[in-house]
């Protein structure tokens, strides 16, 4: 039978995973795995060595995201407590202590660094840079209306990092996938932040909805998603991928059109469906189509 101490620790871990929406790792992870698959396609690695690297890439992604999200919740706790939409989050609501959140951030950071070391020396050298980017995002809403792009970059570096993990070097072509993920993430983050327009104005926080108004911000989100599709098409060309990858881009475009149809400046009631559900499908379907393309191409 577990003792009371281990039960409390387990309960706190579960609460922390709830707080950071651990299940939303699905947003960035499929793009990182796609970057790894593209690298494997170009590398001399055998399947067994690649699968080993893939395991460490997943560990590194989970560690980095967990550290960054928990750090964000700690830093934003006072702001969240004043926002009616977020005041029930775990730290401002008193469900989870700041001390435990800091400890979880530290452990997650160590997990990320250990995974980076296991991948290769360049990953280890660049790991502090990656951490600096994902931690810096938490400050940006206090500094700039372009915080959405910093969040985008935080996720966008994942496929480039996965490429480096597999090959030990960086190919400039994979930066198109970094740009695509950056634009995609910034676009859906702008949509999500429209919910906080009035709070951001009153609290003096920066966001594109506050700067341009909700209608103007939604247009920027649309343009960013068009830019994402353009980057993906260029990626298909540069890597000489096949019709399944093009079909994947088409599926992503259709989902993004649907996402934008759910949200209007006068009606934000379906923002959560646009943010959580649709974007989860975007990343997973993208991976499935592109992985199938690369598998078929490798067999042929």
The first and second tokens of residue 202, run together, are: 């009153």
Structural domain contains residue 272: yes
pTM attached to this predicted model? 0.92
Residue 2 falls within a domain, yes or no? no
For residue 288, the model assigns a pLDDT of 95
Any domain includes 257: yes
In a 13 Å sphere around the CA of 153, the CA atoms on its Cβ side amount to: 16
| pLDDT for the residue 18 | 77
- Residue 3 has what pLDDT? 64
- pLDDT at residue 271, as a whole number: 83
State the pLDDT at residue 90.
83
Number of domains in the chain: 1
| Residue 288 forms part of a structural domain | yes
pLDDT per position as a tens digit, 5-63: 677 777 877 877 777 676 666 678 899 999 999 999 888 888 899 999 999 999 999 99
Res 24: pLDDT: 64
Q: What span, in angstroms and rounded, lies between the C-alpha atoms of 296 and 280?
A: 25
Q: Does 1 reside within a domain?
A: no
User: What CATH code is carried by the domain that includes residue 286?
Assistant: 1.10.357.140
Question: What is the residue range of 68's domain?
Answer: 9-299
Task: Return the pLDDT at 94.
Answer: 84
Where the chain has pLDDT below 50, the residues are 299-300
């Amino acid at each position: 039978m577990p003792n009371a101490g281990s039960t409390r620790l387990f309960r706190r871990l579960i609460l922390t995973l709830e707080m950071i929406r651990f299940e939303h790792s699905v947003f960035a992870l499929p793009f990182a795995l796609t970057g790894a698959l593209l690298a494997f396609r170009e590398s001399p690695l055998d399947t067994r060595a690649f699968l080993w690297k893939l395991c460490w890439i997943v560990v590194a992604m989970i560690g980095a995201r967990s550290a960054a999200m928990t750090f964000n919740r700690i830093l934003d706790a006072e702001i969240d407590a004043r926002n009616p939409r977020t005041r029930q989050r775990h730290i401002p609501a008193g469900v989870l202590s700041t001390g435990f959140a800091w400890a979880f951030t530290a452990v997650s950071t160590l997990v990320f660094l250990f995974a980076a070391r296991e991948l290769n020396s360049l990953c280890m050298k660049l790991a502090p840079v990656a951490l600096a980017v994902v931690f810096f995002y938490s400050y940006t809403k206090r500094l700039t209306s372009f915080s959405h792009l910093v969040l985008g970059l935080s996720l966008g570096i994942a496929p480039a990092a996965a490429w480096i993990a597999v090959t030990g070097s960086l190919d400039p072509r994979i930066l198109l996938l970094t740009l695509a993920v950056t634009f995609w993430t910034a676009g859906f983050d702008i949509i999500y932040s429209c919910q906080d327009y009035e709070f951001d104005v009153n609290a003096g926080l920066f966001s594109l909805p506050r700067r341009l108004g909700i209608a103007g911000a939604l247009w920027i989100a649309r343009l960013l998603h068009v830019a994402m599709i353009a980057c993906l098409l260029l990626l298909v060309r540069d890597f000489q991928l096949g019709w399944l990858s093009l079909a994947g881009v088409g599926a992503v475009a259709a989902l993004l059109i649907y996402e934008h149809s759910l949200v209007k400046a006068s009606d934000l009631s379906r923002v959560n469906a646009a943010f959580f559900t649709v974007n989860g499908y975007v990343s997973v379907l993208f991976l499935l189509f592109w992985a199938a393309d690369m598998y078929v191409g490798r067999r042929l």
